Copies of this chain bind each other. A is one copy, B any other.
């Protein structure tokens, strides 16, 4: 049996377990996107077959990860959302309507590049099941799907994550701790030449700045080996790895959730800061890396009911120039996005187990013990942390 991070997970430390406290803001209780009240995460792993690639048949190293902004009906109870496309070498579905209306009306799904259509088909099926009037008495629905390429480990032509897997991921969605690493959409992903995948983290603002939480979940599949930086230490160079000559062909999807009441314009500003978190881990923004961040607010005070009873909506919005002209709240939210993105990426690396996929291709996990040694030598870890 091939181990996955879900089984092997408990033995692997998260970044913070090593004693490394990245950034200046404190994380939430779980240090996960699910620290934002109401957010659910569900994952379905597709992992079968071994040996030589048989295009369309396997081996499969792929999956689906879904993020629900709230446990209710996403189609009827829409939340404000906005995306920032840092590098559009990607195949997301759903950005167009998100830009126009500033609303999310399905769960966010992440998957393998060529599986985007089939997973989107699953989101449509789910929306119809919850709302049988879609396309009859109700408008159609705009699914949102993001992707990275797991082609190096996975029979990507097989599109093994589809409607069924999406529905199972949604059914499995729950609050609480989030499985990280080689799980769900992350099974076949690589980052910085090591095994990548799903990672998450969170940050909480002080009470006098609203006490709001920023949660980030990433699908990390980007970066070249020599580039990896952890807390400023050039870990990639210091590991005895030869710098891979291959261009950066991966991608990263960054999902940002918050309970701060923010409108779509403000959420786009949050999303635009996420690449700064990527930069902290060493990325220079590769040509072949489709990098997209999407941010949404779960605050009830900013939701758009499908068919309101009045001509106008009453909305709440964080004041960007706050009391006394200060911009502390929005600046705090920006910093939280950068810090949580950085830590979510590193959690994906720390928690991912090695995976062997098609044609015997193997992506090794980050050698966490050696990384800890390096960080210790660089004076970044308290000795007691081990």
Contacts and interface: CB of A to CB of B under 8 A. Distances in A.
A312 B308 contact: no
Nearest to A333: B287
Interface in A83-106: 85-102
Contact of A284 (B94, B313, B335): B335
A312 B321 contact: no
A6 to B, nearest CB: 26
Contacts of A326: 247
Given A275-B276, A327-B286, A320 B101 contact: yes
A135 B114 CA distance: 9
Given A114-B124, A287-B331, A308-B323, 12 more contacts: A87-B269, A88-B96, A90-B96, A91-B140, A102-B265, A273-B284, A275-B275, A275-B279, A288-B327, A306-B325, A312-B318, A315-B316
Q: How many subunits of this chain does the assembly comprise? A: 4
A140 B121 contact: no
Interface in A53-111: 53, 55, 85-102
Interface stretch (A39-47, A230-238, A349-357, A362-370): A230-238
A275 B291 CA distance: 14
B273 A276 contact: no
Contact of A322 (B209, B276, B285, B308): B308
Given A117-B120, A265-B265, A279-B338, A317 B313 contact: yes
A247 B331 contact: yes
Interface of A: 24, 53, 55, 85-102, 113-114, 116-118, 120-121, 124, 128, 132, 134-136, 138-143, 149, 151, 156-157, 159, 209-210, 226, 229, 231-234, 247-249, 261, 263-265, 269, 272-273, 275-280, 283-288, 290, 292, 304, 306-331, 334-335, 337-339, 378-379
A248 B334 CA distance: 12
A142 to B, nearest CB: 5
Contacts of A272: 86-87, 285
B249 A139 contact: yes
A288 B139 contact: yes
A323 B306 CA distance: 9
A129 B228 CA distance: 37
A93 B114 contact: no
A311 B287 contact: no
